[in-house]
């Protein structure tokens, strides 16, 4: 069996057809592929669910997509060269998974949390031909990870569910709530929700994005 570009765990439906959708999960800094995979049991049975592991090892079962400076402003928060390498690795991985299961971009969902969300925005806006539906949890759009020129005509099929904790102590909600305005200016379909939690996913948040996914299957 061909080795894919990222390590991952998966849950496959009993039967895969041309109607089957794919959900790829990208965890946050210091976590691993088991974290978001805990959602799998509550999500539709006919989804292929792939939870990827970030390439950088932090020890004690933790991984990262790139180095973070937690004491910095939004501009200096991320190690951009490392983030770009991971962004391209994720894009390659998405293609590999789509080919493995014969799934089209129109049937591909990308869900990120925190650092995984920052890269999900970057992947979708750099490669709108790879993924069309994005669940962006507790992250923000980093302009340094976007194309130099943004062509709205390329983004007509993109659709975002965005959520953030109103008292997030890791990524301020002010960083996240700029996303709807940015996406609206590009005429990209999106919905934005805030929940009274910190850097995490509230039960109502999970229910809302689950419903969002189900409406698009």
3 state SS of 6: coil
pLDDT band, residue 120 (cuts 50/70/90):
very high
Residues in the chain: 217
Average model confidence (pLDDT) across the chain: 95
DSSP result, 153-211 = GG-TT-EEEEEEETT-SSS-HHHHTTHHHHHHHTT-EEEEEEES-SSS--HHHHHHHHH
- pLDDT for the residue 29: 96
**Pseudo-torsion of CA 109, 113, 118, 119, nearest 10°?**
-50
115 pLDDT higher than 70? yes
Encode pLDDT of 12-38 as tens digits: 999 999 999 999 999 999 999 999 999
pLDDT in the model for residue 40: 95
Burial tier of 82 (Cβ tally within 10 Å: 0-12, 13-18, 19+)? middle
Residue 41 has pLDDT above 90, yes or no: yes
Q: Residue 36 to residues 24, 113, 116, 151, 195: CA-CA distances in angstroms? A: 10, 8, 11, 32, 18
Position 121 pLDDT exceeds 70: yes
Q: Which domains does the chain have, with CATH numbers?
A: 8-214 (3.40.50.1820)
pLDDT interval class at 182 (50, 70, 90): very high
Please report which confidence band the pLDDT of residue 72 belongs to, taking 50, 70 and 90 as the band edges. low
Per-residue model confidence as pLDDT tens digits over 131-161: 999 999 999 999 999 999 999 999 999 999 9
- Distance between CA atoms of 78 and 88, rounded to whole angstroms? 16
pLDDT at 78 over 90: no
Region 77-100 average pLDDT: 95
* pLDDT confidence of residue 109: 98
Q: Between β-strands 159-165 and 133-137, what pairing exists: parallel, antiparallel or unpaired?
A: parallel
| 113 three-class SS | strand
| CB neighbour burial string for 174-189, b if at least 16 within 10 angstroms, e if fewer | ebbeebeebbeebebe
Instruction: Give residue 70's pLDDT.
Output: 66
Confidence of residue 191 (pLDDT cuts 50, 70, 90): very high
Query: Contact, 198 vs 165, CB < 8 A?
Result: yes
Say what the pLDDT of residue 69 is.
77
Three-class SS state of 64: strand
- CA atoms of 163 and 177, how far apart (whole Å): 9
Kindly state the tokens that stand for 162.
């965005």
The predicted pLDDT at position 57 comes to 96
Q: What single DSSP character describes residue 34?
A: H
Reduce the DSSP state of residue 96 to 3 states and report it. helix
Percent of the chain whose pLDDT exceeds 90 = 92
State the pLDDT at residue 85: 97
């Amino acid at each position: 069996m061909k080795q894919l570009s990222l390590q991952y765990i998966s849950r496959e439906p009993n039967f895969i057809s041309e109607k089957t959708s794919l959900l790829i999960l990208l965890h946050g800094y210091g976590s691993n592929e088991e974290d978001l995979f805990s959602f799998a049991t509550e999500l539709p049975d006919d989804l292929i669910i792939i939870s990827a592991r970030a390439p950088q090892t932090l020890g004690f079962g933790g991984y990262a997509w790139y180095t973070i400076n937690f004491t910095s402003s939004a501009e200096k928060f991320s190690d951009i060269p490392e983030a770009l390498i991971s962004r391209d690795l994720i894009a390659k991985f998405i293609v590999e998974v789509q080919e493995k299961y014969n799934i089209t971009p129109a049937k591909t969902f990308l869900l990120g949390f925190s650092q995984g969300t920052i890269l999900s925005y970057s992947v979708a806006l750099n490669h709108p031909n790879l993924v069309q539906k994005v669940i962006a949890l507790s992250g923000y759009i980093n302009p340094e990870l976007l194309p130099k020129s943004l062509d709205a005509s390329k983004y007509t099929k993109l659709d975002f569910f965005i959520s953030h904790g109103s008292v997030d102590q890791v990524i301020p909600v002010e960083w996240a709530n700029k996303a709807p305005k940015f996406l609206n200016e590009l005429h990209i379909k999106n919905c934005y929700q805030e929940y009274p939690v910190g850097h995490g996913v509230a039960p109502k948040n999970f229910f809302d994005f689950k419903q969002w996914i189900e409406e698009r299957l």
